[in-house]
A and B are shown apart, each in its own frame.
Chain A
Amino acid sequence: MNITTLLLDMKGAVSQGMLWSIMTLGVYISFRLLDYADLSVDGTFATGGAVTAVLMSKGMDPYLSLVFALLAGLACGAVTGILNTKLKIPSLLAGILTMIALYSVNLHIMDGKANIPLLGTDTIATKAAARLPGGDKVIAGMVIGLVFAAAVIAFMYWFFGTETGSVIRATGNNEYMARAFGVNTDTMVILGLMISNGFVSLSGAMVAQCQGYADVGMGIGTVVIGLASVIIGEVIMGDRFNFAYKLVAVVVGSIIYRMIIALVLFLGLKSYDLKLFTAIIVAAALAIPVAVNKFSSKKSIAEPDVSDTDGGRSPSDV
């Protein structure tokens, strides 16, 4: 145990966090904007890795293969969305069905192999490293992640500000209101899930390329990692300023999550305890607002505010 190892671990963590932040931004769309706990991302993340690895092993340009990974993710999201809106399957179950189905689909994509190595092939990581002084692949991953995260944030900031993006947000917020104002809420849920899964798949492809292999099991726990990152970002950065700030908070959350993981591993946590640890982080983070609420409501009973006798309404209200 020494400080140099920790610093190296942290460098790797930042790189990982940047690459996985694209996935986290996707989870933010379903979880926060659509108010939809979409479990299909566990499958979609591996789909991205599978698609990129197979296409690259057939000689496709690594960047071009990312486009196909993104398209595959859009299709996965559409499946979950259609199961939920058109076939009226509850959202959690729709996600689980897609996730399970994708396990087989991903193995098909990888031609029955559970793992496809990308050693000796040019990846986005080796290409970027070759351009960097020092040729550090970890730094390369960081730079690639940063560029993609910036692009995705810019896209989301624009898209969710447009007429269509606004009604996707309205659908997630209050579907009755959305329909009353002429929004086809089914289409909006499908569209939102497509974009969400598209980014998750893209992230899976980037991670596969940077780690040098695609694995059918690489998506397990993705949704929980995504939720943990979203919540950590919100807790640390706070709910303030505009939409772009909140999206940056998501990326920061993703990086901090990886740093926490690196730290606890450094302090001696066994790697097989990581999933349990992540689940506890998410449970704790979700419980904090509830606990805070309880605490503050107790406080207001102890010190009643005399001016608040009519249930919080001021005389100027309707």
Chain B
Amino acid sequence: MLKMTKIYKTFNRDTINEKKAIRSVSLHLYPGDFVTVIGGNGAGKSTLLNLVAGVYPCDGITGSSIVLGGNDITRAPEYKRAKYMGRVFQDPMRGTAANMEIEENLAIAYRRGKRRGLKWGITKKEREFYHEKLKILGLGLEDRMTSKVGLLSGGQRQALTLLMATLKKPDLLLLDEHTAALDPKTAKNILQLTYELVSGQQLTTMMVTHNMRDAIKYGNRLIMMDEGKIVFDVSGEAKGKLTVEDLLEKFEAVSGGEFANDRMLLA
């Protein structure tokens, strides 16, 4: 499904602040893979996701490529890649348009990857469809479809963003620490919703998280990153047997014990 080959990303090249954020990462995701990505601060988790999404291009190195579902998207701009992927951000404010109505947001999400013309932005038939979809969230948003999204709480907005990202089935779902800004109870509900949406549609998913328990609990594959490289990649049965202690041990082995100070421990 997603095939990243020899990807590098350097920020502020040739300056004193040069940072090699990603170093020679190759990653192959199979259809239906639900991959959790963990690692310390600055390990390159979010950078990796942003490279897939096209927020910035990867370094122009011969042999580097990102191929998604048979389409080479290595040099495609962010808005064109959006055709293939759904995204949820860490900041609940980022994924929705606050001054627009819930149904307007959904209508924009529903047209992801389609040419937008001069047809009316939302049809009556769509409204019924959105009404049904919003019911799934169990937040009563289906009765507030013409409310401005800015009136919703962070958790409600994140739930809506998840629905929007998956409204038109994406080839790839990118979740960038999408529960990190929420309180623990809300975060749990959003993760549960994520699980339902992903397993319901068999979505190929990459989920960055700081929480080791979540990384172990969800998905069929786990990737650990350190200093811009993938240092641990486990899937299937072996992943199912992982414990937090295993991960800590693994991490200390690669990073020389620095990990004990990281906020991942708090989780």
Q: Which residues of A contact B (CB under 8 A)?
A: 159, 161-167, 169-170, 173-174, 176-185, 312-313, 316-318
Contacts and interface: CB of A to CB of B under 8 A. Distances in A.
B24 interface: no
> SS class of chain A's interface: helix, strand, loop or mixed?
helix
Interface stretch (B39-47, B92-100, B207-215, B236-244): B92-100
Contacts of A159: 118
B50 to A, nearest CB: 11
Given A163-B121, A166-B107, A312-B153, A180 B87 contact: yes
Contacts of A181: 82, 108-109, 111-112, 164
B82 A318 contact: no
Nearest to A171: B97
A165 B116 CA distance: 9
Nearest to A161: B121
A313 B121 CA distance: 32
B96 A177 contact: yes
A317 B156 contact: yes
B117 to A, nearest CB: 6
A180 B91 CA distance: 14
B79 A179 contact: yes
Contacts of B95: 176-177, 180
B94 A177 contact: yes
B163 interface: no
Interface residues of B, number: 45
A318 B139 contact: yes
A215 B113 CA distance: 47
B57 interface: no
Given A164-B117, A180-B87, 7 more contacts: A163-B116, A164-B118, A170-B97, A170-B105, A184-B79, A185-B79, A313-B155
Interface string B97-138: 111100011011101111011111110000000000000000
Contacts of A173: 97-100
Interface in B68-105: 77-80, 82-83, 87, 89, 93-100, 104-105
B267 to A, nearest CB: 19
Closest 8 pairs (CB-CB, A-B): A318-B155, A182-B82, A163-B116, A166-B121, A173-B97, A181-B112, A170-B97, A174-B97
Contacts of B52: none
A214 B152 CA distance: 50
A182 B186 CA distance: 28
Contacts of A178: 97, 108
B155 A176 contact: no
A236 B208 CA distance: 48
Contacts of A184: 77, 79
Nearest to B109: A181
Contacts of B109: 181
A318 B189 contact: yes
Contacts of B89: 176, 180
